[in-house]
Each structure stands twice: as structure tokens, then as C-alpha cells.
Amino acid sequence: MKRFFLCMLTALSLRVAAADVNITAHGAVGDGQTLNTASIQKAIDACHGSGGGKVIFPKGTFLSGTVAMKDNVTLHFEKGSVLLGSTDVNDYKNLDPFTDGLGIDVGWALLVAVDAKNIGIEGRGEIDGQGSKLKAAHILTDTRSESLRWGRRPFLVRIVRCEGVKVNGITLKFASAWTSHYFQCKNVDIENVKIISHGVAHNDGIDIDGCQEVRIKNCDIESGDDALCFKTTSSKMACKNIVVTGMRLKSGHGAIKMGTESMAPFENIKISDCYIYDTNNGGIKLLTVDGAHLRNVDISNITMVNVKTPMLFRLGSRLSVFRKGKDTQQPTGTMENVTVRNVKAQASANAQLKPPSGILITGVPGHYITGLTLENIEIDLAGGGDATHARQVVPEAIDKYPEVKTFGPLVPAYGIWARHVKNLQLRNITFKLAANDLRPAFVCEDGRNVSLSNWNIPATDGAEAVIRLENVSKAVISGVKADGKFQSFVQAEGAESKDVKLQKNKAPGAVQAYVKK
């Protein structure tokens, strides 16, 4: 009994010690003019010193520079509260410098946590970075080109090497650079977050950088740059064991993206039930170009509306290093065992490739994308390709920045263009065209074990071929229905093209079912 009462007294004392702290009790003034950096930091430090709890942001607009979160502290934003970022870059600190995929030194931030445990950001308030205003003030004193000086501008939220992170309900607005960056964190829950961040360049929404055991659910993101982006700027920790569901995404670049920086693996990642709209670059972009192994990724139940180039898969050899003095250049990585299924996409006619295409898949010579499966895919496309477009030669761009436009101005297939692939499975694929297109629906260059099954290909008139295989061995084409009139249903070219099997296809308008050149 005595031991019981001692335990009860200990628990009670801990509960009393973990007191909530209002930032106004430490001098914060919510007038939108007073710089409250020191006052907010004092409130966080006091809460942490008492054993943890909540730091309360009451109704009001609280101007601040960099503040650092501490163990066992949750920032609670009441309705009507705003943490407003200063427009003076000198009010910000860089507690974990690194170099981004463009080679720019970055890492300054408004709200930062480094090596902390059990932290949170919650509530119905807002964090506003005033990105456009900060940029306007910054360029008055920084005379470097915009491509160099943007990195000095602060991220809105940076969570670095933390464990036990919960972000719920908050609205993040108008960052000066990336909106939220999570680096080498474990056990992260992000739910019901609203992001509206555009107006300056590099406004990524959520960046997951080498994090593990991550759950992201029911977030609404409108970003000027990538909306939901997975990175590994260090080779030391993989993006691993991640589940994402129920996202609404609008992006000035990529909606769902992996691998702008790609040194450590991306593995065991599931993304489902997302709505992507008005996106200016790619709906789904999976990339590994700096040595990472990208594997065991499953993406399903995706709707896209007005999206430029719905999908890009890229294995490349840029081989950049982002953490100076902490990493060394790696050999080319791998992309394997990736599945994308149940996708309906309306592709924009005004795309970065003209005429537009639906899906780009490409490794580099000697390095194959392996075990990619696309299943139950429907894409509406503008069409408009002519006979010369059907013979477009696409640059290898082996060491270039991974982007759709890198392979422009167009690719020789309107539906799916694939190069340097092995064990490619393409099942239940449907395309619709708004205008005639003389490019093939599918072109594969340098492929091994390629399977097409149960395709519905729209009527076209005058194309040389519906499917073209260039140096492809062991291909099976079955259950494909192709309407319209064309010279050949399947055309195989190159010395390595062999073992091509056609089974139960319907192409009544073809002059020849199969041609080998």
C-alpha cells in the first residue's frame, strides 16, 4: 500500500510539473508588429523545464524569427492565432545546414526542432511565413542572382532528427522556401494539415527527408512547388515504412514525388486515395538519381484532373552529394518492385511536352527500371502527334536534374514511353484521345520481359504502328483492343527484338498484325 501511494504521489507531481504555458505570460504581444522571438522562446524553454506540456498561442498575430522546440512540448494554436514570420532574413538561424538538389545552401527556418522527442504542433491557428514580403525585402540587400540567393530565405517548419512528432490541424501559409521539412525523424504523424504556400519559388508543401515510421492523413496542400515530396539528402537514413492516405494536392510542379535528392533508399511506402488537380508538372514522379534504391512502393486509387504529364519514372546517374563533408558520391542506384494501380487522369493539353504524353519510364544504359507494374490506368489525352513526332529521339540525360522537360520537347508515344526496363507489367490500360495522334500508344526501347495485357486503345487514323518495340526481347501482348486504321498493330525493330508473342488481340484496322524490321 505504501508503494502504491508513493507511485500516485510521483504521478501527481509529474502532472503538476508539466504545466501549460501561455506565450503572453512571457511578454509576447500579438499586435503583428512587435518582434516576439525571445518571448516565445522563453515560453517554450519554461514549458520544457517544467517537464513539458503545451505552449499556448492565443488569438492574435505574433511576429517572430527563429524559435526552437524542445522535448515534450506541443505548440497549441488557438483559433485566431497566427505565428507570423519576420520579413528580415537576419532574424533567422540555420541550425542544420545542408545543400539542396540544385546545389544551394539551405536550412534557415522559422520554427525548428533539432534532436527533440515527443513534440507537436496542433490547433486551429496559422503559421504564416510572409514569403513574398520577405523576398521583396531580401532582394534589396542581397545582390546575387535569384538562383543563388533563394536558399538564404527560411523554411517555415523544420523538424530535424526528432522522434515522436505529431502535427495536427494547423494551417501553414506562404513560406519563403520549403513549407515543412522533416529530416531523419522517426514516428511522425501528420494529419488534417492545411497548406497554402505559393508566391515565391521552391514552396514545397511537405518534404519527408530520410524519415521512418511516418503516417500522413487527410491533408490539403496547395503548393507552388512539389506538394508531397520524399527526399533523402543524406545516405545515412532511408525513407522507410511510410503510409499516406486521403490527400488533396495542387502543385506548381509535382503532386506526389520521390527523389529530387536521392542518396538513401525509399522503401516500404504506400500512398492511396488521393485527389490531384491543377498540377503544372507531374502527378506522380518517382525518381532515383543519386544512388538510392527505390523499392517496394505501392500507389493506388489516385484521381488526377488537369495535370501535366500524369506520371514519370526515372532511374538516373546524376550522383550528387548534399551534406558537405558527411557523405561521398555513390554509384547508380536501383528502382524495383513499384506498383501503381487504379489511376484515373485527365492530362492537360498545355503540358511541358507538346504534344503531351501520359507516362514516361526511363533508366539509363546498363541500369534498368525493374519490376514496375502499372495496373488499371485510365488517361485522357489531347492527341495531336504527327508522323515526325513518332520518330522523336529522346536524350538520355544520364547525369541531369530529373524532370519531365529534361526529355523534351516531346516523346515518341502518346500513351506510355518506356526505355531501359526489365519485367515491365502493364495491365488494364485505357487511353482516350481528343484528337488524332500518329504516334504509337506504346513505345519501348531496350526492354526485357515486357507484358501488355487488356488495353483499350482509341481509334486513330494513319499511324505507322500502334505498338513499337525497339530492341525488346521476350514481350507478350495479349487482350489488347485497338480501333482505327494503321499500318501495323505491332512493329518490332532492332537486332535485339525477339520472342514477341501476340495473344487474343483485336486490331481489325491493321494492314499487318506484326512487322519485324
pLDDT at 181: 98
Spatial contact of 214 and 183, defined as CB atoms under 8 Å apart: no
Q: Does residue 211 sit in helix, strand or coil? A: coil
Q: What is the DSSP string of 350-415?
A: S-SSSS--SEEEE-BTTB-EEEEEEEEEEEEE-----TTGGGPPPP--TTS---GGGG-S--S-SS
Single-letter code of the amino acid located at 127: I
Cis? peptide before 409, omega within 30° of 0: yes
> In whole angstroms, what is the distance from residue 469 CA to residue 473 CA?
9
Q: Between the CA atoms of 325, 328, 334 and 337, what dihedral angle is there, to the nearest 10 degrees? A: -40
Say how many Å lie between the first and final Cα of the chain, rounded. 90
pLDDT at 127: 98
pLDDT at 18: 59
Q: How are beta strands 266-279 and 239-245 bridged, if at all? A: parallel
CB atoms near residue 226 (< 10 Å): 30
Domain ranges of the chain: 19-225
Spatial contact of 204 and 231, defined as CB atoms under 8 Å apart: no
Contacts of 31-39 spanning 24+ positions with Cβ under 8 A: 31/60, 31/61, 32/61, 32/62, 32/63, 32/82, 32/84, 33/63, 34/63, 35/63, 35/64, 35/65, 35/86, 35/91, 36/62, 36/63, 36/64, 37/64, 37/65, 37/66, 37/67, 37/86, 37/91
> In whole angstroms, what is the distance from residue 482 CA to residue 459 CA?
7
Strand partners for 359? 311, 416
Q: Taking Cα atoms as reference points, which of 25, 178, 192 lies closest to residue 111?
A: 178
Single-letter code of the amino acid located at 501: K
> Which top CATH class is 19-225?
mainly beta
The three grid cell numbers given for residue 57, joined into one nine-digit string: 498561442
Spatial contact of 409 and 436, defined as CB atoms under 8 Å apart: no
**Cα dihedral sign for 69, 149, 97, 100?**
positive
**Per-residue pLDDT in tens (0 to 9) along the chain, 517 residues:** 445 444 444 444 444 345 899 999 999 999 999 999 999 999 999 999 999 999 999 999 999 999 999 999 999 999 999 999 999 999 999 999 988 888 889 999 999 999 999 999 999 999 999 999 999 999 999 999 998 999 999 999 999 999 999 999 999 999 999 999 999 999 999 999 999 999 999 999 999 999 999 999 999 999 999 999 999 999 999 999 999 999 999 999 999 999 999 999 999 999 999 999 999 999 999 999 999 999 999 999 999 999 999 999 999 999 999 988 899 999 999 999 999 999 999 999 999 999 999 999 999 999 999 999 999 999 999 999 999 999 999 999 999 999 999 999 999 999 999 999 999 999 999 999 999 999 999 999 999 999 999 999 999 999 999 999 999 999 999 999 999 999 999 999 999 999 999 999 999 999 999 999 9
Q: What is the pLDDT of residues 400-414, one digit of tens each?
A: 999 999 999 999 999
pLDDT at 328: 95
> In whole angstroms, what is the distance from residue 357 CA to residue 382 CA?
9
Q: Between the CA atoms of 141, 147, 151 and 152, what dihedral angle is there, to the nearest 10 degrees? A: -10
- Please give the helix or strand (H or E) that residue 255 lies within, else none: strand 254-262
Spatial contact of 123 and 76, defined as CB atoms under 8 Å apart: yes
pTM for the structure as a whole: 0.95
What are the angstrom distances between the C-alpha of 297 and each of 19, 269, 435, 459? 43, 5, 34, 34
Q: What is the pLDDT of residues 428-487, one digit of tens each?
A: 999 999 999 999 999 999 999 999 999 999 999 999 999 999 999 999 999 999 999 999
Residue 263's contacts (CB-CB under 8 Å, 6 or more residues apart) are 232, 233, 234, 235, 290, 291, 292, 321, 322, 327, 330
> In whole angstroms, what is the distance from residue 102 CA to residue 151 CA?
10
